[in-house]
């Protein structure tokens, strides 16, 4: 008895009809709302709106998502050293870092002259 295998065209058509399998399923999108809840700890230094009141502490509001993910991950993994940030980032999961980054990247910022600036 001879077994007939499906043709390439049949397999290709089936793959389009069935869609991507679990291995190709889209990763969940970062959740900025969840990130805003996680970022409560960040507010102590970086400000409740991501705008620091101290010039030695960077603003997080409006930063690029990828940059924030890279930097928070570097603090967590200790490839960027800051004793306070290393300790705060240590328990964060990749998903939590992505959520925090999504939150701060979504915070609108206003660019302009300071109120006490001279023309």
Is residue 23 one of the residues assigned to a domain?
no
Q: Tell me the per-residue pLDDT of 12-66, one tens digit each, with 9 for 90 and over.
A: 455 555 555 555 567 789 999 999 999 999 999 999 999 998 999 999 999 999 9
Question: What DSSP state is assigned to residue 91?
Answer: T
Is residue 113 one of the residues assigned to a domain?
no
Q: Which residue has the higher pLDDT, 91 or 109?
A: 91
Is residue 3 one of the residues assigned to a domain?
no
Is residue 97 one of the residues assigned to a domain?
yes
Is residue 119 one of the residues assigned to a domain?
no
Q: Which residues contact 95 (CB under 8 A, 6 or more apart)?
A: 28, 30
Is residue 65 one of the residues assigned to a domain?
yes
pLDDT at 27: 79
SS3 content of the chain, % helix, strand, coil (to 5): 50, 0, 50
- Domain of 51 in residue numbering reads as 34-106
Q: How many domains does the chain have?
A: 1
pLDDT at 111: 78
Is residue 10 one of the residues assigned to a domain?
no
Q: Tell me the per-residue pLDDT of 69-79, one tens digit each, with 9 for 90 and over.
A: 999 999 999 99
Q: Given a cut of 90, is residue 101 above it in pLDDT? A: yes
CATH number for the domain including 68?
Answer: 1.10.760.10
């Amino acid at each position: 008895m001879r077994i007939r295998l499906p043709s390439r065209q049949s397999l290709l058509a089936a793959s389009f009809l069935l869609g991507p399998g679990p291995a190709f399923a889209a990763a969940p999108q970062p959740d900025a709302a969840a990130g805003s809840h996680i970022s409560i700890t960040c507010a102590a230094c970086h400000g409740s709106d991501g705008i620091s009141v101290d010039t030695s502490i960077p603003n997080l509001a409006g930063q690029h998502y990828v940059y924030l993910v890279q930097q928070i991950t570097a603090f967590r993994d200790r490839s960027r050293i800051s004793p306070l940030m290393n300790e705060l980032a240590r328990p964060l999961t990749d998903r939590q870092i992505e959520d925090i980054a999504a939150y701060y990247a979504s915070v609108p910022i206003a660019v302009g002259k300071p109120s006490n600036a001279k023309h």
